[in-house]
Structure 1
Amino acid sequence: MTEAVNDSEQFVYDICSKSFLSLWSYINPQGKTPGKELCDVLVVCDPHVIVISVKDIQLKNTDDPGVDWKRWQRKAIEDSVKQIKGAIRWLDQSKYVIQKNGSKGLKLPLASERIYHRVAVAFGGKREVPISSPIEDDEFYHILDEQSVFLLLRHLDTISDFVNYLIDKQVFLSNTSIIINGGEENLLAIYLHNNRQFPSEADMIILEDDLWEGISNKPEFKAKLQKDSESYIWDRLIEALCQGGFDGEDWLGPDMSKSELAIRVLVKENRFSRRMLGSAFKDFLELSRIGQVRSRCVQSMSSVGYVFFAYDSDSTLQERKSELLARCFASLCQFDECFTVIGIGVNIPGQKPRDGYSSDLVFLQTQNNQWSEEDLRQAQYCRDEFGFFKNPNKTHVHEDEYPVIENTDDT
């Protein structure tokens, strides 16, 4: 486990690395000066860069609450805003993340495409001090306390879910006056209850302190959390692929390989999409174990095509990679609206392969939302010559993110 300077930073880093996965989360990255931290936590997933500053300042209770509040706000919030500003000035000149130990991390998104999200986490205010998200130099800062950051990253625990919330919240608060009684989780309650949207026509809103408790106790909300358990199969797959090393290739370095680009696509799937994908991958593994299927192609909610392939235990490493690539090309005949296709090759569960265990990724992507004539010729050849996905059994799956629980009480 990567260790932070203090417990509050470790707390925020731990939930970030759990939500956004370890490859994209950095604790105490270096700035301009070696040994001096840039910020407390940095999350990078092209094009998004989340800069997080954490301050743990205990509120002092004297005879003058107004003075106590101002002192706490200055140390817990204003100092974080200054740190974030300085971090972004340095990042604007940088091409790579510099890790805590001084080594290069992942390449930063292109400056012209980079989207910064500024987050300050203020510990110690005991929810006695009013907290607002300031706008300085036309830039928005999200101010969270320890309870709200935990709940936000518990229920928006993918990079797509979280940054979409931050972007929508920034637009909403830029046009609407709001008073929140309690923590930001009550704002999150409005967002989730309104199908991940904020009210668009209100000039002013007052949120009561019981909104989060109300939505989190709904039967369909609890059912959603239960159904999401299968989505973490996708998370575990990502971590396994990251740790697999891809035949020893140092692909986790600063230069993005096709493997890293493929992993990034997997990471950008939101929690609901991961539920569907995790369930499909689990079903595929079970069927491949009993010999009913060797490959399956799935289209995600994000219009990405995925090809799952279980290797023959007698195949060589090169044969596995070649067949996975051919199956990905053949899938283009099925994925009319997919302009990114990811192939995931794994060993059949329970079988010991002759040439050892391996996991492979294939990354196919168009440059202009249109497959080239050569790509399509290759796709048709792989389908017709090898029979890959030539006569597939097609299934359409519908599922509600928040399942409706039917009342079975007959009384």
Structure 2
Amino acid sequence: MLKPIQKEPSVNESERILSSIATNTFFSLWCYPSLFRSAGKGKELIDLTVYFDNTLILFSDKGHVKFQAHSEINLAWSRWYRGAVKESAKQLHAAESFVRNHPDKIFLNSKLEDPFPFDLTNPRLKIHLIAVTRGIGEHAKRFFDTIKPGSSGTLGYYYQVPEKTLLEKPFFVGDVDQEKTFVHVLDESGIHLLLEELATPADFIHYLEVKEKAIREQKLLLSAGEEETLGFYLQEDGDRGFGDIQNLPENKGNFFAIPEGEWEHYRRTVAYALRHQHKVKARLWNEITARFADCIVDARVGEGRDLPFLTHSNAVQVLASENVHSSSCLASTLFEKFDSVPKGIRSSRSVQSLSNPGRMYVFVFFPWDDKYKSYEEYRQDRTACMQLYAHVARYKFQKAREILILGADTKGSPGGSETIFAIDASVPLSSEERVAAQKIMNTYKILDNISEKRVKTPDQPKNIGRNDPCPCGSTRKYKKCCLIKGMQ
């Protein structure tokens, strides 16, 4: 029987802010403030933990570490760096070590009564570490303005150099310990920007992975700020609606840098405007995902109350694993179909995921009839109908490896709910199952006349990098020509 998840509240206001904005991206189902470990008399593991699809993100938030502005600048910087960055990194690496060594000794609260609901024992578990700093922006801006007025006031990043060098460069941080897991050091503007722009678990995690690879393997040396790194990433085509960070071939393996102005340049492009439109539409998909997630956390599911927690969370994880581009297109397809279905008519729409090849969605709109004595009885019939669609979908979409069926009311129904279940379609149907699916399809007119919508993302042309010659025939680089919005 599904039970409510009882989370421990955040310790202070700074951690509450972090938990709140992280939950907007990762949903209540995968976001956990103040987990505790059974060793050490129930000591807190870390300030915030996010788990999603065998990936763990650990956040350390030290709040406002005092910057001693009255002291000599290098001395003030080195003291702040040790208190805000080094201490966070130490805490993060200790938490990572505990997870690796004692994955079954992590609990939701200090009473150590409810274990963490996800399995952390997988040897391929990925862990990302993020140190959040606060209150440093005003001091950074004041310092950088003495060099060149108009600074954004964000931390700069200088990788591939020893800590001694960083301590002599105020308001620059880097790779805290190159022998351990990389730590992303983000000021408050940086973490807000990433969670706002990378507004899905898939987008956020992909960015962390790409950035870490660029630093540790491709020799990214310097970035003028996290916003500049993000701007660079979003302007590159990483395929399937993701961005990328690549060292240019002409560098011949030498160090490369991300200069100041990348974010502002990106904000003037058509690509930014298109992505903004996708983000707006993706919120509709996220709202559906959030409702499912909240219902699981609160144990208020409509169907499958007797099924285990992971069965529910794995189904919703499918919805949440779409990136912004894919979520936008799925939401558009879903609501366009909903608006077009006549009252009292059963209908469906099938569509492929853009960010997850091999995944197919089938949206089933099931009408209310006055014969139903209750809404619960209606939902039972709708679920039975969805199961028929699942049988036929496996037959119709034999190249799909995963199928998600989403059932919803049609216009005019007295209720308002959705039901989902995910199907592993990687195992081929037997001959008996194919015959049964054909019979269901013909008898009940299910997916016999498929309305499948295939959508493409309006990204930049394939194989055209932003530093390549523009395909329009001008002599300018693509990023300085057709990629830029028409009006400067």
Do the two structures share a fold, i.e. TM-score over 0.5?
A: yes
The residue that corresponds to 2:261 in the other structure is: 210
Look up the SS of the partner of 1:192 in the other structure.
helix
> Where do 4+ consecutive residues of structure 1 move more than 6 Å?
402-409
Q: CA deviation at 1:312?
A: 2.8
The separation in 2 between residues aligned to 1:75 and 1:405, in whole angstroms, is 43
Q: How does 1:372-411 map to 2 (within 5 A)?
A: 372-373=429-430, 375-401=433-459
The residue that corresponds to 1:36 in the other structure is: 43
The separation in 2 between residues aligned to 1:406 and 1:169, in whole angstroms, is 24
Asked if 1:256 is matched to 2:318, the reply is no
Please tell me whether Structure 1 or Structure 2 has the larger radius of gyration of its CA atoms: 2
The residue that corresponds to 1:282 in the other structure is: 335
How big is each residue's C-alpha offset from its partner over 1:82-127, in whole Å with a ceiling of 9 and x where there is no partner?
1112212222212375224653342134422311111111223333
1:300 alignment partner, one of 342, 350, 353: 353
Match of 2:286, as an amino acid? D
Instruction: Give the direction of change, closer, same or farther, for the CA distance of 1:114–1:289 in structure 2 (3 Å limit).
Output: farther
Contact 1:340/1:363 (<8 A) preserved = yes
The residue that corresponds to 2:126 in the other structure is: 115
Give structure 2 stretches of 5+ with no counterpart. 1-6, 141-169, 238-242, 462-481
The residue that corresponds to 1:312 in the other structure is: 367
How big is each residue's C-alpha offset from its partner over 1:151-181, in whole Å with a ceiling of 9 and x where there is no partner?
1111112111111111111111113141222
The residue that corresponds to 1:235 in the other structure is: 286
The separation in 1 between residues aligned to 2:105 and 2:338, in whole angstroms, is 37
Contact 1:97/1:108 (<8 A) preserved = no
Q: How many residues align?
A: 401
The separation in 2 between residues aligned to 1:91 and 1:229, in whole angstroms, is 36
- RMSD value, Cα: 2.8
The residue that corresponds to 2:411 in the other structure is: 349
The separation in 2 between residues aligned to 1:292 and 1:320, in whole angstroms, is 13
Instruction: Give the direction of change, closer, same or farther, for the CA distance of 1:30–1:13 in structure 2 (3 Å limit).
Output: same
The residue that corresponds to 1:179 in the other structure is: 222
Q: How does 1:42-81 map to 2 (within 5 A)?
A: 42-56=49-63, 57-81=65-89
Q: CA deviation at 1:292?
A: 5.9
Match of 2:258, as an amino acid? L
The residue that corresponds to 1:365 in the other structure is: 424
Give structure 1 stretches of 5+ with no counterpart. none
Asked if 1:26 is matched to 2:84, the reply is no
Contact 2:134/2:187 (<8 A) preserved = yes
Instruction: Give the direction of change, closer, same or farther, for the CA distance of 1:408–1:120 in structure 2 (3 Å limit).
Output: closer
Q: CA deviation at 1:249?
A: 5.4
Instruction: Give the direction of change, closer, same or farther, for the CA distance of 1:358–1:122 in structure 2 (3 Å limit).
Output: closer
2:10 alignment partner, one of 4, 8, 13: 4
Contact 2:37/2:43 (<8 A) preserved = yes
Look up the SS of the partner of 1:29 in the other structure.
strand
Instruction: Give the direction of change, closer, same or farther, for the CA distance of 1:139–1:394 in structure 2 (3 Å limit).
Output: closer
Match of 2:418, as an amino acid? S
The separation in 1 between residues aligned to 2:133 and 2:485, in whole angstroms, is 42
Q: CA deviation at 1:377?
A: 4.3
